């Protein structure tokens, strides 16, 4: 039976995310720190599941309630979301889940609501005769604006995308080629009773059969491996042969910066740029991996404040985006992101690209990357940019992963067990 304190903490996490708009990662870390470690796994499973299925269960709760909850009782919404998720998706017997939810009411100082919670959950069980499967309703886990976008752009891939977004992401590692090989690392895992498998899309990626806390990953602190999704590990392939000056323009926390350095025996003249206050993680990742880059704090849309007027041969622009390709890793994206964000993000993406273009040497290139699966942030940006300029050549590196689009390549989530990413390569005309 899920202990009442687990239900109460999971409900508080859900409430923090929905009503205080705190990120799920942050709310989880804060709330778990108050529970014994033995309860972390189950609390996380319940709260993350409830957030994944938020849009679906909220509709049900609103139908079951005779009148809306008072604003002081929003915690009960979190509790009901967590309980319905458990009834449909977790193994504990239904009576135990209901009784634990009722007990959690007391722990949450809502003793008066025990009757209400009990009644709602019993009514749900009576109406649905729950069979531990809400599989047919997976589409309802998406906010309608996002579902409409996905339906419009990816009608033939919709089921795959929804499935991926509702799934649990694998823990994928990038092996630091300068310190280890994938085969040696996999052998080491086997020796210590852990397992992993090679990625089908990146030759330095492997997936652990079971996720581990970062500090428990063998060789992590020694800089042998980093945590990075396999689709994010395609950057060096799209960038091609690197020489001269390289800029990683939106670099923090440094995943792509470090990967580029690892792929080039660490001898690149690479500048890692990110906004003021965002560069610390780049520094610590470089240190852990034994790599070197020039770190600059500045705004990529205002090169006049940090650029030394020396052209770059290659710029990686991993632009801030809706992150709709990584929903399975951050299920709260579907709650916190709004349709109107897409317009503002697209404006910023085009501005970043336009500001950085004059810094590219003739014959040099920009690799434009997002972890979005929305074309307004991807092909549409490149299209607008190419229309404005007369010195851009769109390049199509011979990479087969994902779908070819008009200007680049789109990886939808789950291809190669990886996240959704978009890549486009733009070369600056020599003349
Ligand atoms: C998708 S993340 C980058 C992830 C990183 N490339 C990696 O692989 O680890 C986008 C980054 O863009 C940065 N950013 C947003 N606007 C920026 C700007 N105007 N100038 C520089 N960096 C910016 C954010 O701070 C954030 O770190």
Supply the pLDDT for residue 72.
Answer: 81
Supply the pLDDT for residue 131.
Answer: 52
* Domain-located, residue 149: no
Taking the centre of ligand 1 as the mean of its atom positions, its distance from the CA of residue 299, in whole angstroms, is: 10
Nearest CA to ligand 1 atom 13: 250
213 and 360 in a single domain? The answer is no
pTM for this entry: 0.94
- The gap between the terminal CA atoms of the chain, to the nearest Å, is 71
Q: Which stretches in the chain have pLDDT values below 50? A: none
Residue 49 phi/psi, 5-degree rounding, is -65, -45
Supply the pLDDT for residue 70.
Answer: 85
Domain CATH code at residue 280? 3.40.50.150
Residues in contact with 400: Cβ distance below 8 Å, sequence separation at least 6, in sequence order: none
* Domain-located, residue 147: no
Give the domain-ending residue among 119, 141, 163: 141
412 and 272 in a single domain? The answer is yes
- β-strand partners of 198: 206
Nearest CA to ligand 1 atom 14: 250
- Report the number of distinct structural domains present in the chain: 3
Which residue from 273, 320, 353, 421 has its CB within 8 A of the most atoms of ligand 1, so it is best to mutate?
320
Which residue from 236, 251, 346, 348 has its CB within 8 A of the most atoms of ligand 1, so it is best to mutate?
251
Nearest CA to ligand 1 atom 6: 251
Supply the pLDDT for residue 136.
Answer: 63
- The torsion defined by the Cα of 89, 95, 101 and 107, in degrees rounded to 10, comes to -140
Domain range for 53: 4-141
238 and 370 in a single domain? The answer is yes
Residues in contact with 321: Cβ distance below 8 Å, sequence separation at least 6, in sequence order: 345, 349, 370, 371, 372, 377
- β-strand partners of 274: 297
Distance, CA of 22 to CA of 332 (rounded, Å):
9
Instruction: Find the residues whose C-beta lies inside 6 A of ligand 1.
Output: 250-256, 273-275, 278, 299-301, 318, 320
Taking the centre of ligand 1 as the mean of its atom positions, its distance from the CA of residue 318, in whole angstroms, is: 7
Give the domain-ending residue among 180, 207, 227: 227
183 and 243 in a single domain? The answer is no
Domain CATH code at residue 205? 3.30.70.1170
Catalytic residue list contains 321: no
Length of the chain: 431
CA–chain centroid gap for 239, Å, is 22
């Amino acid at each position: 039976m899920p202990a009442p304190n687990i239900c109460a903490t999971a409900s508080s996490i859900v409430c923090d995310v929905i009503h205080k708009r705190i990120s799920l990662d942050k709310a989880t870390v804060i709330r778990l720190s108050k529970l014994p470690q033995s309860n972390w796994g189950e609390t996380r499973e319940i709260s993350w599941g409830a957030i994944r299925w938020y849009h679906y269960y909220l509709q049900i709760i609103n139908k079951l309630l005779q009148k809306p909850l008072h604003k002081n009782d929003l915690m009960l919404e979190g509790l009901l979301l967590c309980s319905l998720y458990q009834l449909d998706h977790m193994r504990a017997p239904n009576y135990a889940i209901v009784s634990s939810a009722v007990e959690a009411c007391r722990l949450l100082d809502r003793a008066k609501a025990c009757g209400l919670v009990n009644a709602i959950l019993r009514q749900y069980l009576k109406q649905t005769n729950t069979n531990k499967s809400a599989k047919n309703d997976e589409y309802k886990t998406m906010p309608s604006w996002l579902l409409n976008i996905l339906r419009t752009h990816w009608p033939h891939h919709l089921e795959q995308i929804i499935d991926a977004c509702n799934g649990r992401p694998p823990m994928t590692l990038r092996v630091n080629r300068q310190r280890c090989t994938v085969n040696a690392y996999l052998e080491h895992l086997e020796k210590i009773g852990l397992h992993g498998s090679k990625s089908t899309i990146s030759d330095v990626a492997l997936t652990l059969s079971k996720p581990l806390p970062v500090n428990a990953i063998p060789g992590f602190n020694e800089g042998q491996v980093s945590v990075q999704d396999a689709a994010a590990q395609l950057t060096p392939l799209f960038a091609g042969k690197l020489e001269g000056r390289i800029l990683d323009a939106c670099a923090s926390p440094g995943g792509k910066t470090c990967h580029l350095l690892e792929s080039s025996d660490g001898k690149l003249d690479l500048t890692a740029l990110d906004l003021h206050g965002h560069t610390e993680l780049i520094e610590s990742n470089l240190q852990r991996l034994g790599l070197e880059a020039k770190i600059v704090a500045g705004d990529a849309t205002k090169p006049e404040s940090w650029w030394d007027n020396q052209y770059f041969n290659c710029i990686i622009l991993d632009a801030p985006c809706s992150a709709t390709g990584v929903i399975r890793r951050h299920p709260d994206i579907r709650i916190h992101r709004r349709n109107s964000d897409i317009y503002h993000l697209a404006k910023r993406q085009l501005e970043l690209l336009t500001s950085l273009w004059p810094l590219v040497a003739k014959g040099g290139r920009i690799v434009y990357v997002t972890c979005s699966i929305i074309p307004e942030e991807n092909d549409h940006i490149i299209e607008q940019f190419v229309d404005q300029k007369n010195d851009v050549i769109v390049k199509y590196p011979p990479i087969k992963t994902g779908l070819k689009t008009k200007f680049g390549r789109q990886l939808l989530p789950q291809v190669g067990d990886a996240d959704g990413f978009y890549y486009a390569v733009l070369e600056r005309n020599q003349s």
